[in-house]
Structure 1
Amino acid sequence: MTVLLALTPGLIFVFLWIWKIGSREAGLPPGPPTLPLLGNLHMFPKSLAHFKLTEWARKYGGIYSLKIGPGTAVVLTDVAAVKELMEKRSGSTADRPSMYVAELVTGGLQMALARYSDKWRILRRTAHAILTPQASLRHIPIQRAEAIQLLHDLRHHPEGFYTHIQRTANSIIMSVLYGKRSPRFETKQTTTFYKVLHDWEGILAPGATPPVDLIPILKYVPERWAKWKQMCAKTRRNQRDLYFGWLDETRDRLHSGNENGGYMEDVLKRQDELGLDREMTGYLGSSLTEAGSDTTAAYIHSLVLALVAFPEVQRKAQEEMDRVVGEHRMPTLEDLEEMPYLRAVILETHRFRPVTPLFIPHSAVNDEQYKGFRIPKGCTIFVNAWGIFHDPVLFEDPEMFVPERYLLTPNGTKPEVGLDASDLRPNFSFGVGRRSCPGIHVAQNSININAMNLIWAFNLSSPTDTNGNSISVDTFKYQTGLASGPSPFECKIATRSAKKAELIESEFVESTDTFLKFEHGLDAEDKQFVAEVRARR
């Protein structure tokens, strides 16, 4: 009894200490009620988290906190807070949360997920050194040629539009980075890439692996007893076979004097100068390929979906296109300056369905204070782009696709809101602070070229049932991954005129010389496909 009495204060202390785990500490922003140990972990959504985080933002404010077990997350759905904390104080918020499975698969070298370290700084500096606005201009010919092939593919096989768009996005970034294109979706490098990407995104999906970062002892479970570790090992092998294979092909081509201007050629030439080893170089290419393929495809899919769902917008954009470009030539990037409505359509697509509705989480490097709230060192920071872009205080009828909002104000917000364009800059969808997308110039050129071509060339409309009645498309049925794009959907695609059809065919033929520079290592089936397609002329 005496021993029990002696132990009681200690037991009470331990109980109270455990009970406090998961509680919201003093000074943190407000948020949903917590449970002991769990905090808000039990209520954190496993998919499409931006919807729930936006719901909580409307209740708890533009800056609120969540307790994820003993850890803390701060959610920003306020433009001023994002600008101050993520951009003005970007040095304090540029880290990423610990993600053990990402370390296991990529050695911490996947640039978008890597911690704020010397190696990340070298990767980031390299990306900015090669992906300059001026350097992006030399890749416009292949971007334009690939966009023309998309028109050609859609004309002849409109039912396959979803994978045609994926092929286009992947082939553009492959050509730009490695000087190596894919003439069809079934080209091995493209199908393998999307399979590897699918497996990688599956590992990163919430709930797909145990909470190793919350329960670190799980790291020591032997691989033979941990299926998730086996998945990580398999994905690592497949990634390395693919990405380092491309790197070696580029190096061999460079050494044989067959270079064609791909960015990775520049990286290999300057590897020592930039401070890169083979591992960093290989994963730099993989990071840019994943980002460039996934986000561009997701954006173009969303644009098509929006144009189908809102035909009046499509009609207005076509009227402007016909007025500026007409029937007898295809649009060019220079034409975009004369098309304010189409520029607004492009911006509204970013707002309506952002490809990263919840930016990849940041992590605080230092303690910060903001408007009386404490942002503790090591906390996870979510930037809720969806919640900002769909805030009814900022945007009139945010669930409607209304490009006209960008003709009224530079950032599309209500005139009375009074935000400066720099507070919600047009390229906000490409990320914030030191983690913003380094390939923005290449990506914007691809988006602009394809948006102009699609509106110039086709009437996009809803599918119909057996009785000819229109079937509405679902603008909320979206997939999650490194980028968020619509789930496969149906639509009708019809060339707008015989003259446009003729131009698509002739432009596709004229693109052959551009394509040939990038058609390295095609297998027999690809060569046969290319020969048959070009024989049609």
Structure 2
Amino acid sequence: MASSSSYYAAYAIITLFVFYHLGKIGRRPAGLPPGPPTLPLIGNLHLMPKEKSHLQFQKWAEEYGPVYSFILGTQVMIVLSSDQAIKDLLDKRSAIYSSRPDMYLGNIVSGGFRVLLMKYGETWRAIRGLMHTGLNIKAARAYVPYQDLENKAMLVGFLDDPASFANHIKRYTNSLTTQMVFGFRTTSIHDPKLQRLYHNFEKFSAVFRSPAAAILDGFPVLRHLPDLLLPIRRYSKKLHKEEYDLFVGHYLDTKKRVHEGTAKPCFCADLVRAQEKLGFSDGIAGYSSGSLLEAGSDTTAATLVGFVQALLIFPAVVAAAQAEIDRVCGEGRLPDLNDLPDLPYVRGCMKESMRWMPTDILGVPHAVIRDDEYMGYKIPKGAGVMWNVWAVAHDPKRHPDPSRFDPARWAHDQQTSAEAAGNRDASKRDHFVFGAGRRLCQGMHIADRSLFLAISRLLWAFDFRRPVDAATGKEIVPDMADLTEGLFVMPRPFQAVITPRSEARARRVREEWEAVKGLLDEEMQWKTVPEGLVWRDYEESGEA
């Protein structure tokens, strides 16, 4: 009888213990930043929007302040919605704010290899060091011949097939990146590997931001379910195979050329030597180079497509920019990088493009590796930390009339993206597209130059007008709010009427292309390394 009583007492204690801890799941712990009301177990999961998340996150910032929190099951997420909060935590306290939270499905798709999602540690630091060597400001200068040639190829694409302008932009950014990373050009908008890259990243992005991903991150116990009951995990594994085949295939092809002595200078040439020295897998090498390919191809392309959309919505920008370019360059020559100091309005177009339609609209969450405190709030170890890019970029106190595309905002700002990101005054940072802290994008210098060449030369060569609806006779204005969903965003497809400003300018574009085409062989690849492109031998790098 006594043993039976002991059994029931122990059972009751265990039951109370379980229910006590279950009752705590979903609650906002005392001391955390404020946020939306929670429900038992699920916390704020039921409030997570399925689309246009950035708008809801902006509303919460207006309601709860520049630092707020929400609870996703067992996971705590802190949201930073001011430039100062981002500076104070992600930059100034980067030693403890540079890891990543556990992003289960994202890592299933990535096989645990994707640098973007990798936790802060020895492997991440080693890869980061390699990327810094290949993409720092000194190395970036060597890529100008690549940028110039690919830009001129894009301009000819706009002449021959203006309706496919978005595809010409994607080929431009992709080909530049394949040269830097793998040593070959992407010569056609129909290239199957280019199409696979964008298609795969769209699918990865959709999985990463899916409600299922949030549920599995908030309730890790559900990961023990079989694939039969988790079809999205089966799908994620299938995506990983497709990504792996593309990224590691690119890398192994380049690795073979390196060993044969036929490879052009590229990031992978250094990566092969580093792999032989450090012994990391082909998976890590393939995804390291593939991550650069994604970043270089997708973000700059999305920014430029957004810029074209802005030109249609705000036609006065076209006239103002063309007037400035014509004063400096006239009709006889294309703008080049030497013109940057003399084209402040065009520089403003670059900065405004990254503010107005920031492609990483909610950022990729950081994670804090130990308990911290900010503004009197507790930030617990392991919490995810989001930087609310859209809310900062569209804060009317920071940028009056934020939905208006206005390059004149930047009339007196001559900073590069890197200089602005490092400015001690948080209010002087122009945009947040390239991240923060130790996760800051290493390719900023390259992206700035690619954007300047594209924006200045497109405006020099072409007029951009709205299409006219045949039925109503009215102009069709793109909807600036109609964006793709996912990790990185861009405008959904829209029409634009793009025509040469004059026959003389169209002729000049073709002449420029013919001149640089002589540097290519019959397969439209570089015959020799462009003059001035010097690639350093691999040296072991410290933390970047």
> Fold match, TM over 0.5?
yes
SS at structure 2 position matched to 1:430:
coil
- The CA distance in 1 between the partners of 2:14 and 2:223, in whole Å, is 30
- What is the TM-score normalised by the length of structure 2? 0.89
Letter matched to residue 498 of structure 2: I
- The CA distance in 2 between the partners of 1:343 and 1:369, in whole Å, is 38
2:90 to 86, 91, 116: 86
Matched with 2:243 is: 239
1:134 is aligned to 2:138: yes
- The CA distance in 2 between the partners of 1:344 and 1:392, in whole Å, is 18
Matched with 2:468 is: 464
Conservation of the 8 A alpha-carbon contact between 1:180 and 1:519: no
- The CA distance in 2 between the partners of 1:95 and 1:460, in whole Å, is 43
- The CA distance in 2 between the partners of 1:274 and 1:316, in whole Å, is 53
CA RMSD of aligned residues (A): 2.5
Conservation of the 8 A alpha-carbon contact between 1:354 and 1:386: yes
Gap change, CA 1:16 and 1:218, over 3 Å in 2: closer
Conservation of the 8 A alpha-carbon contact between 1:330 and 1:456: yes
Deviations 1:228-257 (CA, angstroms, capped at 9, x unpaired): 232222222211221111112212222333
Conservation of the 8 A alpha-carbon contact between 2:173 and 2:300: yes
1:31 is aligned to 2:35: yes
Conservation of the 8 A alpha-carbon contact between 2:107 and 2:117: no
- Displacement of 1:349 after TM fit? 1.1
Matched with 1:193 is: 197
- Displacement of 1:464 after TM fit? 0.6
- The CA distance in 1 between the partners of 2:296 and 2:522, in whole Å, is 21
Q: Mind listing any 5+ residue stretches in structure 1 that lack a counterpart?
A: 412-418, 522-537
Deviations 1:146-165 (CA, angstroms, capped at 9, x unpaired): 11111111111111112121
Matched with 2:506 is: 501
Matched with 1:386 is: 390
Conservation of the 8 A alpha-carbon contact between 2:72 and 2:215: no
Deviations 1:207-230 (CA, angstroms, capped at 9, x unpaired): 255832333333333345542232
Matched with 1:204 is: 208
Deviations 1:114-136 (CA, angstroms, capped at 9, x unpaired): 11121111111111121121211
Gap change, CA 1:250 and 1:4, over 3 Å in 2: closer
Q: How does 1:100-119 map to 2 (within 5 A)?
A: 100-119=104-123
Letter matched to residue 93 of structure 1: Y
Matched with 1:177 is: 181
Number of residue-to-residue matches in the alignment: 515
Conservation of the 8 A alpha-carbon contact between 1:72 and 1:379: yes
Matched with 1:475 is: 480
- Displacement of 1:427 after TM fit? 5.5
Q: How does 1:192-341 map to 2 (within 5 A)?
A: 192-208=196-212, 211-223=215-227, 226-273=230-277, 276-341=280-345
- What is the TM-score normalised by the length of structure 1? 0.90
Conservation of the 8 A alpha-carbon contact between 2:304 and 2:353: no
- Displacement of 1:369 after TM fit? 0.9
- The CA distance in 1 between the partners of 2:221 and 2:426, in whole Å, is 45
Letter matched to residue 486 of structure 1: P
Conservation of the 8 A alpha-carbon contact between 1:177 and 1:263: yes
Gap change, CA 1:520 and 1:235, over 3 Å in 2: farther
1:406 is aligned to 2:405: no
Deviates more, 1:175-184 or 1:461-470: 461-470
Gap change, CA 1:274 and 1:492, over 3 Å in 2: farther
1:397 is aligned to 2:401: yes
Conservation of the 8 A alpha-carbon contact between 2:466 and 2:477: yes
- Displacement of 1:501 after TM fit? 0.4
Conservation of the 8 A alpha-carbon contact between 2:271 and 2:285: yes
Q: Give the percent of matched residue pairs that are identical in Structure 1 and Structure 2.
A: 34
Gap change, CA 1:13 and 1:197, over 3 Å in 2: closer
Q: Mind listing any 5+ residue stretches in structure 2 that lack a counterpart?
A: 416-422, 527-544
Deviates more, 1:10-19 or 1:338-347: 10-19
Matched with 1:529 is: none
Letter matched to residue 513 of structure 2: F
- The CA distance in 1 between the partners of 2:339 and 2:287, in whole Å, is 37
Conservation of the 8 A alpha-carbon contact between 1:122 and 1:276: no
- The CA distance in 1 between the partners of 2:246 and 2:19, in whole Å, is 51
